[in-house]
Structure 1
Amino acid sequence: MQIATIQQEIQTARDKGPLREIKIPPCPELLTRLRAAMATAQPDLTEIQAIASADVAMSATLIRVANSPVHMGDGTPCVSVGQALTRLGLDATAELMTGFLIRNAIPVKSPHLQRFWERSAKRATAMRLLAAQIPGLDADLAGIFGLFCHVGMPVLLQAVRGYGATLVEAAARIDRPYVQTEDANHRTNHAVVGALVARAWNLPQPLMAAVRLHHDFTVLNDTELEPGVATLVAAGLLAEQLMRRSESLKPDADWAAHGAQALEWLQVGDAEMDEWADQLLELTDPL
């Protein structure tokens, strides 16, 4: 499978299939500006600060995080966006802003998706942690993938009647994968819808493809697919397992079936997993 094939699949589903009636939330203008600013070789810090200051709630979020114990230590409290940016660093600031903007563009107000964005932020942290260790895993794509890979769920919850019940059923069933229950009930699933949102928001094509395929581990044997996409998918599965270990949860069905294959693709061993799980716990414990 190639990215162009995935693009065509998404287009067909949008034009003639079950996605015709699904309303895709528009990409926030500030997110478009932020991604453009971060895409340059030397990001314009003045522009990024201006973007952060354009939304009072986003500014407050950055200052609050910068003043949290994990970042402030014994330092002087930050009182401005510029001070928060300096303390957090450019990449961490951009990731926090991205998460804030996506979260507000696609709100989740349902008991079926409790802690959805909190867990998405934790997954993004895990993916960035892995990107610092795994060759070929792009840090920017990794962080956004962590935030975005399950974004189809809240979109479906808002747009499709009965999807809340499907979430409960899919989580409870052990006889088939999560997305198969979604497909059986609605003729689509959160991976397809998430890829549609990524495409509509003009996010990078490898990211769109990885969101579409993040439950399809046959990609690890697909010689036609761009290696970076398969690496994102494998790292996403590993990030999920690291999260579960940090929360003292049992491995999920995807990890039980495909974890060994993902580790082989990423060339990661048990000792590294143990170390990264501990690091993730240290990074996300305040969450």
Structure 2
Amino acid sequence: MKTQAVHQELDRARATGPLRQIQIPPCPELLTRLRAAMTAHPHPDLEEVGRIAAADVAMSATLLRVANSPLHLVAGHVPCTTVGQAMYRIGLDESARLMQAFLVRHAIPVNSPHLSRFWQRSTKRAVAMAFIARQLPGMQVDLAYGYGLFCHVGMPVLLQSVRGYGATMVEAGARIDRPYIATENANHRTDHAVVGALVVKVWHLAPELMMAIRLHHDFDALGDDSVEPEVRSLIAAGVIAEHLMRQHEGLDEDADWAANREAALAWLHLTHEDLEHWDETLRPLLDEA
């Protein structure tokens, strides 16, 4: 499935198919400004990023909290008291990722027992994805972080737009005879992978991100030469990130990991020993997330 084919699929489903009733929250203005500031040439617009960070009191507080956390506040350092100090301590790229997560979380609120801890786990997944990307030459950290953040974003959007989706989530989670998205499609003629890809498309985020979200439950893509390598890497890393998260939370391995771990490891040229080492290094980051 090529990128253009996904665009066309989403456009058709939006115009005459099951996505007509889906309400996509608008992309936050501050997020649009942040993306423009971070991609300004030849260098990011630091003054604009600072203005964006200071534009929301709660977002500023988030940066200060992270900067003053045990992960960043080393012995002998005084606590940060301004947003500028916090961003300097955390670093520009990490500050931008924290701001992105804050803005997305508030643009798509989740107030349902069906999705308890949704944004907490999405943030942990994003942190795990960024960590994995730093270990793999050529993998874009920001793209990996965005994949972790948006991977399941179709779920809260469906919950807000489609009657009966909460019951579908309960059913899909309980059934062992078919995949989660099969139950979604049986009940609603669409699934959270499609809707998540639509969010990425409407928000004008990276096409590789849209493709990876669309295919993140289509694990045959890992062996499909027609799928772009960067998309396959995101899908493979996503399987690993979920596994590492579950280990951190003391949960059993899930069906996706059991069925697709060898394909994911092979695509990324990793071993189980690599993951054992990563698990130990990643745990403090997941604790903080």
Report if TM-score (shorter chain) is over 0.5.
yes
What is aligned with 2:115? 113
What is aligned with 2:91? 89
What is aligned with 2:10? 10
Q: Displacement of 1:110 after TM fit?
A: 0.6
What is aligned with 1:200? 202
Report SS of the residue matched to 1:285. helix
Question: 1:103-134 CA distances to partner (integer Å, 9 max, x unpaired)?
Answer: 00000011111111011111011011111111
**RMSD of the TM alignment (CA)?**
1.0
What is aligned with 1:280? 282
What is aligned with 2:44? 43
What is aligned with 1:73? 74
TM-score by length of 1: 0.98
The amino acid of 1:49's aligned partner reads G
What is aligned with 1:34? 34
Q: Displacement of 1:136 after TM fit?
A: 3.3
The amino acid of 1:57's aligned partner reads A
Q: Displacement of 1:174 after TM fit?
A: 1.2
CA distance in 2, matches of 1:46, 1:247: 39
Question: 1:203-252 CA distances to partner (integer Å, 9 max, x unpaired)?
Answer: 01010010100010111122122111111111111111111111121111
What is aligned with 1:212? 214
| Residues 217-236 of structure 1: pairs in structure 2 closer than 5 A | 217-236=219-238
CA distance in 1, matches of 2:64, 2:284: 21
CA distance in 1, matches of 2:138, 2:11: 29
CA distance in 1, matches of 2:138, 2:192: 26
What is aligned with 1:19? 19
Q: Displacement of 1:253 after TM fit?
A: 0.9
Q: Determine what percentage of the aligned residue pairs are the same residue.
A: 61
CA distance in 2, matches of 1:64, 1:133: 26
CA distance in 2, matches of 1:156, 1:214: 17
CA distance in 2, matches of 1:115, 1:92: 22
Unmatched 5+ residue regions in structure 1? none
What is aligned with 1:126? 128
Q: Displacement of 1:69 after TM fit?
A: 1.7
The 4+ residue runs of structure 1 with deviation greater than 3 A are none
Question: 1:15-56 CA distances to partner (integer Å, 9 max, x unpaired)?
Answer: 111100111000001001111111234212111111111111
CA distance in 2, matches of 1:73, 1:83: 14
| Residues 136-285 of structure 1: pairs in structure 2 closer than 5 A | 136-285=138-287
The amino acid of 1:61's aligned partner reads T
Contact 1:131–1:137 (Cα < 8 Å) also in 2: yes
The amino acid of 1:116's aligned partner reads F
Question: 1:137-163 CA distances to partner (integer Å, 9 max, x unpaired)?
Answer: 211100011101100000001111111
Report SS of the residue matched to 1:99. helix
